Amino acid sequence: MTHVLVTGGAGYIGSHACKALKAAGYTPVTFDNLVTGWQDAVKFGPFEQGDLTDRARLDAVFAKWKPAAVMHFAALSQVGEAMAEPGRYWRNNVEGSLTLIEAAVAAGCMHFVFSSTCATYGEHDNVVLDEQTPQEPLNAYGASKRAVENILRDFEAAYGLNHVIFRYFNVAGADPEGEVGEHHRPETHLIPVMLEAIDGTRDALTIHGTDYDTPDGTCIRDYVHVCDLVDAHVLGLKWLEEGKGSEVFNLGTGDGFSVREVIDASRAVTNKDVPHAHGPRRAGDATKLVSGSSRAASDLGWSPDRSNMRQMIKDAWNWHQNGAYEK
């Protein structure tokens, strides 16, 4: 059976990717340092604990499992933290990714699927974002991801490393079967924070900025169900296996939701009010990030069937009520 090395496989998106890979007939090998991941989330294949900056450890894992591909999710990803501690993001996201890429090439593992972000685009007023939109990141998170994209292109030119880059939008929801889900400590993503406010585990949701140039004054984002997202990653892996060459795909639905609209949808799903308060804008936040691309659908055959707001909140709410990990 084909092994795939999944970095960050004990995290939110990575654990869902491992489940999707197993369902598709692969054996996912999770590589994670458990700083933000959860060992309880490793359910679908072998686990190797280690840090991406540890080349010797990576070499040992590549030698042991001989993976045919890498699926790279491991990264720091909080915008506010990236603004406050940019050095940490450059060191972790770029140095770690470079070490991983060098180890993969040395091991002859020449298929690489990379989890990038729409944050590489930055702020483009009144523009829906496609793969040709100029990349002008506003923070060290987006800038570090753009840097890794550039590294992949350089390694393709020098060594023939085939890669698929996914720039995706806000990820939400959870495994509908409840095996894995979103569990950050502390939690910063809008939907799980909102659910914590609903059930009383936090006092209130803070709406960061109510004076943006949007219909209701709050930021607008394009949301993708995590299960749809990882399905695209499996399709990206198959794309490489079929010899179709390196490519970049946006993963979004083209539908933008403001913070207030997400709150309204949660009331409809949970039948509960959302305690919330108003706060200042966060540095590094763009006004509107919405995908204008259909390339993933047309080229990969990707269909984000679960990515409607009520479904994402429903699955997240079910997980929030019933799922938890322990370190």
Peptide bond into 186 cis (omega under 30): yes
| pTM of the predicted protein model | 0.93
Q: How much of the chain exceeds pLDDT 70, in percent?
A: 98
CATH number of 304's domain: 3.90.25.10
Q: Which structural domain, as residue segments, surrounds residue 23?
A: 3-172+222-251
Alpha helices in the chain (DSSP H): 12-23, 55-65, 79-84, 86-89, 96-106, 140-159, 190-199, 226-241, 259-270, 295, 309-322
Residue corresponding to tokens 């095996």: 179
Q: How much of the chain exceeds pLDDT 90, in percent?
A: 71
pLDDT at 327 over 70: no
Helix, strand, or coil here: 84? Answer: helix
- Strands 256-258 and 220-225, by their bridges, are antiparallel
> Is the residue at 180 inside a domain?
no
In a shared domain, residues 158 and 299: no
Q: How confident is the model at residue 324 (pLDDT cuts 50, 70, 90)?
A: low
Last residue of a domain, one of 213, 233, 251: 251
In a shared domain, residues 271 and 286: yes
In a shared domain, residues 164 and 270: no
pLDDT at 96 over 80: yes
> How many residues are given for the chain?
327
In a shared domain, residues 141 and 269: no
In a shared domain, residues 83 and 231: yes
Answer for the pair 249, 166: CB distance below 8 angstroms, yes or no.
yes
**Candidate list 12, 141, 212, 223, residue with the active-site label:** 141
Amino acid at 172: A
Q: What is the pLDDT of residues 234-276, one digit of tens each?
A: 999 999 999 999 999 999 998 999 999 999 999 999 999 989 9
Average pLDDT, the chain: 92
> Is the residue at 184 inside a domain?
no
CATH number of 64's domain: 3.40.50.720
**What would the two tokens of residue 322 be?**
């019933």
Catalytic-residue membership of 121: no
In a shared domain, residues 230 and 215: no
> Could you please report the per-residue DSSP string of 175-225?
-TTSSS----SS--SHHHHHHHHHHTSSS-EEEE-S-SSSTTSS-EEEEEE
In a shared domain, residues 273 and 164: no
In a shared domain, residues 226 and 79: yes
Number of domains in the chain: 2
**What would the two tokens of residue 250 be?**
């946006």
pLDDT at 46 over 70: yes
Q: What is the pLDDT of residues 134-186, one digit of tens each?
A: 999 988 999 999 999 999 999 999 999 999 999 998 899 999 998 998 887 77
Answer for the pair 285, 79: CB distance below 8 angstroms, yes or no.
yes
In a shared domain, residues 279 and 309: yes
Answer for the pair 148, 77: CB distance below 8 angstroms, yes or no.
no
CA distance 68 to 208: 43
Q: b/e string for 109-147 if b means 16 or more Cβ within 10 A?
A: bbbbbbbbbbbbbbeeeeebbbbebebebbbbbbbbbbb
Q: What is the pLDDT of residues 204-244, one digit of tens each?
A: 989 999 999 999 999 999 999 999 999 999 999 999 999 99
In a shared domain, residues 94 and 210: no
> Is the residue at 96 inside a domain?
yes
Q: What is the pLDDT of residues 192-203, one digit of tens each?
A: 888 888 988 888
